[in-house]
Chain A
Amino acid sequence: MNGSTTTVVSAEKLSLTFETNDGPVHALSEVDLEVKKGEFVSFIGPSGCGKTTFLRVIADLEKPTSGEILVNDMTPEEARKNRAYGYVFQAAGLYPWRTIERNIALPLEIMGYGEAEQKKRIAQTLELVNLSGFEKKFPWQLSGGMQQRASIARALAFDADLLLMDEPFGALDEIVRDHLNEQLLQLWDRTNKTICFVTHSIPEAVYLSTKIVVMSPRPGRIHEVIESTLPRERPLNIRESRVFLEIAHQVREGLRAGHSYDE
C-alpha cells in the first residue's frame, strides 16, 4: 500500500501563544510533527502541555501564532472547508432533541447528502460502532459509553480520512473505557483512517497507538515521539505483555523527564 507514505498532518515550528490577563500563555512552542496516513497517534501529557490545543489547530478551531501546519497538504482552514476530518469531543455532545439516527444525520444534512445516502451511511456507521437497533432512541436513553460511541459514529458518517479525538473516553469508567478502546482499534483497522487521539492515560495511549507523542507543559511542546513496536493485532491482554510494559515505562520516563510530575 503506497498510501502509507502519504503525510496527513505536518507541523513545522508551530507555536501558539494565548494573550491572557495574566500575561501570555505559551500553549504550543516550536512543535514539529508528521502524521502519516493510517497512523494512530496519541498525544499524552499533563494539563497545559498543549495536546488539545494542537488538535484544535489541526481542526482550524485555533489559529497558530507562528509556524507552518498542513493538513492533507492544505491549510487547516481549507481542510476544514473540505471536511477533511471528523472531530470527537470529550463530551459526546449529542443533540438532545434528535434521535441517535438524526444525530448521525446532522453532518450529512449539513454537507448536503441525499436522503437515501444518509440512510445508508447511518446504518453503516451504527453497525461500525455496534449501535444497530438504537436508531430511534434519544441520547438520554443511552449510557455514557453508548453516547460516546454514537458521537464517534457521527464523526465517521462522512468521508473524512482523519479522525481527531479529544479525550473521548476521559469521562467514562475504566471497564467501559477498555471496551471502547478495543472497539476503536477494530474500527481503525476496518476503516483505515488516520487517528489523532488526545489522552491522559498511559495504558490507553500505549494500547491504541502506533506512535505516542509525549508532551510537556510551560511552554507546551513535544518532548519525545515514541514509535510503538506492538503488533497491529492487539487483544486486551496484550497489556500484560513485556513489550507493552516496556513502552509504558518509556512513556512514563518521557513524561518524568519533561517535568510532567513536577509540582
Chain B
Amino acid sequence: MLARSKTLPLLTVITALIAIWYVAAIWMNSPWQLERYEKAGVDWNFSQLVDDTLNQQRPVLPGAHQVIEEIWKTTVQKKITSKRSLVYHTWITLSATMLGFIFGTLLGIFLAVLIVHNRAVDKSMMPWVIASQTIPILAIAPMIIVVLNAIGISGLLPKAFISTYLSFFPVVVGMVKGLRSPEASQLDLMRTYNASNQQLFWKLRWPSSMPYLFTSLKVAVAISLVGAIVGELPTGAVAGLGARLLAGSYYGQTIQIWSALFAAAALAAILVMLVGVVDRIVMKRMGFVSEKVEA
C-alpha cells in the first residue's frame, strides 16, 4: 500500500520532467537544425525535425536517451582504468570528497567542542567560522590550489582541503547546537553526581548531540562533493568529474557535461543515502525512536 501510494506520484513527476526535458531539447536544438535544412535545401517535416534534433552530435540540450547512452558507453563499456571512463573520474572525485568530508567532520566536531567549553572561543571563533562561508568558494579554491602547489602539496589533498573548507561548517553549527541540547535539569543531575567535565561530555553532551551530528553530516557530505568538483576546475582539468565538466565545456561536448552532471548528482544522492543509513542504524542502536524513517 505504502509503496503504491508513493510510487505513483513519483512516477508522475519523473514523467512530467522528462516530457518537459524533451520539449525543451527539440525547441532549443531546432534553430541549428533548421539552418542546416535550409543550407542543404532539403524538404523536412515535423517528425524528421524531432528525430534530428534529438540526435545531434553537439546539441544545445541533449535528450535523455543521449545522456543515458553516453553514461552507458563511458561506464559499462570502458575499462575503469581508462581516462575516458566515467567510473574512473567519479572515483577520483569521490576519494577527494571522502577525505575532505572526514577532515571536515573532525575539524567541525573539534571546533564545536572548543566553542561549547570555552566562552572566549565561543565569542571569538563563531564570527570567523561564519565569515569563512561568506567567501565564494570559486574565488578561494584556485588560491588554495596554487598556494598548496607552491609548498609541494598537489593531487588529492588540495581538493580535499576545499571539501573540508565547505563541509566543516554545517558540522560546527550542528554540533554546537547538539552539545548544548541537554536540558538544565539533565545538567543539574550530572552536577548532583559530582560528575567530572569529561564524564559530563561523554555521558551526556556527546550522546545528546548525535541526532544533530547526522543531520549536519548529510549536508556536509553533499557540499564536500561540490568542494571536490570545484577543486578540480582550476587544476587544469586533469581528472575527476569537475575535469569532465570543464573539458566538456571547452569542446562543446554537452552530452559529456550532462553525463558528468548526472554522475555527480547520483553520487551525491548515494552519499547522502549512505549517511542516512548509518544515521538510522546508530539511532536505532541508541534507542531513539526514528521518526524520520518515513520521510
Could you tell me which A residues sit within 8 Å of B by CB distance?
Answer: 59-61, 80-81, 83, 85-87, 89-91, 93, 95-99, 106-107, 109-111, 138-140
Q: Is B287 an interface residue (CB 8 A)?
A: yes
By CB atoms of chain A within 10 A, which of B191, B192, B286 has the most? B192
- B170-199 toward A: CB 8 Å interface, digit per residue (1/0)? 000000000000010110111111110001
Q: Does B203 contact A (CB under 8 A)?
A: yes
Assess the B183–A93 pair: CB atoms within 8 A.
yes
Can you spell out 28 A-B residue pairs with CB atoms less than 8 angstroms apart?
A: A59-B192, A60-B191, A61-B188, A61-B191, A61-B192, A80-B192, A80-B194, A81-B194, A83-B193, A83-B194, A86-B192, A87-B189, A87-B192, A89-B189, A91-B183, A93-B183, A93-B186, A93-B189, A96-B287, A97-B210, A97-B286, A109-B203, A110-B193, A110-B194, A110-B199, A139-B287, A140-B287, A140-B289
CB of B192 within 8 A of CB of A85, answer yes
Complex Cα–Cα for A99 and B199 (A):
18
Which residues of B line the A interface, CB within 8 A? 183, 185-186, 188-195, 199, 203-204, 207, 210, 286-289
CA distance A152 to B246 in the complex (A): 65
For B194, the chain A residues whose CB sits under 8 A away are: 80-81, 83, 110
**Across the interface, do B207 and A97 meet the contact criterion of CB distance under 8 Å?**
yes
A89 x B188 contact (CB < 8 A): yes
> Other than the known A93-B185, A97-B207, A110-B193, what 8 A-B pairs have Cβ atoms closer than 8 Å?
A61-B188, A80-B192, A83-B193, A85-B192, A96-B288, A97-B287, A109-B203, A140-B287
Q: Report B-chain residues with C-beta under 8 Å of the C-beta of A106.
A: 193, 203
Q: For the complex formed, measure the closest distance between the CB of A60 and the CB atoms of chain B, giving whole angstroms.
A: 8
> In whole Å, how far is A52's beta carbon from the nearest beta carbon of chain B?
11
How far does the alpha carbon of A52 sit from the alpha carbon of B138 in the complex, in Å? 57
Are A99 and B183 in contact, CB atoms less than 8 angstroms apart?
no
B207 engages A95 (CB within 8 Å): yes
